[in-house]
Structure 1
Amino acid sequence: MLHVVSTGHDFADATVTLPVGVRDLSPRDLPACTWSGSATHLRSVERELARAAHGEVDYLAVCTPVDLPVAIGGIDYQAREGAGTLWQLAVLPALQGRGLGTLLVRAAEQRVRHRGLRRAELAVEEDNPRARALYERLGYVAYGREPDAWDEEGPDGSIRRHETMCVLMGRDL
C-alpha cells in the first residue's frame, strides 16, 4: 500500500492510500518511466529487457492500480557468481520515502531466492547517503568500493560521461 499525505494550503489535509503491486517491467512501460532517467538511460533499460527475455536478468516495476510504474529496478544474475545483483533501482521522486524502495528491494530479493541464490548485492554511489541508509536498514553491509561510469544525455542531446565511486553492499538471504 502507498500512503500519500497532502498538506497543501488551498485544500484540506488529506491522506490517500493506494494499493500497489510488483510485476515484470515491459517495453510498453518505458514511455511512463521518463522520471527514472534520460533517454540514454531508458535505451539501456530497453536493452536489459531483451536480456530479461533470455532469463539473464529480471526487471521489476512497482505499479499503481492504473498499472503505472512508480518504482523500477533490475536483478542481474550474471554480474557476480552466486548472487543476484540489484541495479538501476529508482523510485518516482515525488513518492520517495513512502516505502516503495523497500517493497522493490524485497521483491527483488524474493526473485533472487527463487533462482536458488542466497545472496543479494548492489552498489550505491558514495554521494547518495539516503539510498545507502535505506539499504543498511534492509540489512545490507558494505564490503568494498569500486568506480562506475556511464554515459548521460543532456537536455541538448549532448552525451557526457558520468564517473562516480560506489560502495559495494551485500546481504545474505
Structure 2
Amino acid sequence: MADVVVKLSVRDLRPADLAHCGWSGSEQHVAGVAKQLERARLGEVDYLAVCPATDIPVAKVGVDYLVKEGVGTLWQLAVHPALQSCGIGTLLVEAAERRIRDRGLRRAELGVEEDNPRARALYERLGYVAFDRQPDAWDERAPDGSLYRHETMCTLMRKDLS
C-alpha cells in the first residue's frame, strides 16, 4: 500500500460552497449554515472550510464570538465521512484556534455530543478539557419529510489558547 499526500488549504466558507456540503448534514442543516454565513459577513462568526486542490470543501467549522464574552465557541465541525481519521479535523480545529487568537481572544470552547466518543477523543488530544454538561436540541427532517426534534446531551470543553 502506498501513502497518498493531498495538499489541503483552509479558507472562509462561501455561499457557493453549500451546494457541495450535503455530506455535513440535512438540507435543513445546510440552510442553517447559509444563515450563519450572513453572520460571518457581519463579523459575528467565522466559518471555515478545508479544501483540496479542487477547492470543494471536505470539512467545515463555525466559530461564534457572541456566545460568551472573550471566547471563540466552535460549532458545527464536520469532516466528510470518507475522510475522517486523516488529520483533517485537527487541521480545521487548529485553524479555528488561530482565528480566535487573531481576534485577541485566549479561550476556545465547544460542545461535543456524548454519543460521539471519537470527536471527544480528538478534542482531548488537542488539549480541550471537559468542564460541564448541557442538553442541546434541534429540528431535523426525517427521510419521509416529517419534522422531528433531535435531543442530545453535550459535554462542554474548553482550551486556553495563551
Task: State TM-score, norm by structure 2.
Answer: 0.98
RMSD (Å) for aligned C-alpha atoms:
0.7
1:72 aligns with 2:53: no
Moved beyond 6 Å, runs of 4+: none
2:30 corresponds to: 42
Higher-Rg member (1/2): 1
Provide structure 1 residue ranges, at least 5 long, that are not aligned to the other structure: 1-12
Aligned to 1:89: 77
The more displaced of 88-97 and 151-160 is: 151-160
Query: How many angstroms apart in 2 are the aligned matches of 1:160 and 1:43?
Result: 17
Q: 3-state DSSP class of the match of 1:55? A: coil
Give 1:45-124 correspondences, 5 Å limit.
45-124=33-112
Structure 2 unpaired stretches of 5+: none
Cα distance in 1, alignment partners of residues 132 and 87 from structure 2: 27
Deviations 1:116-160 (A, max 9, x none): 100000000001000000000000000000000001111222111
Give the length in aligned residue pairs: 161
Structure 2 SS opposite 1:66 = coil
Aligned-partner Cα distance in 2 for 1:51–1:160: 26
Task: Please give the alpha-carbon distance, in whole angstroms, between the structure 2 residues aligned to 1:18 and 1:164.
Answer: 35
Distance 2:119 2:52 in 1: 22
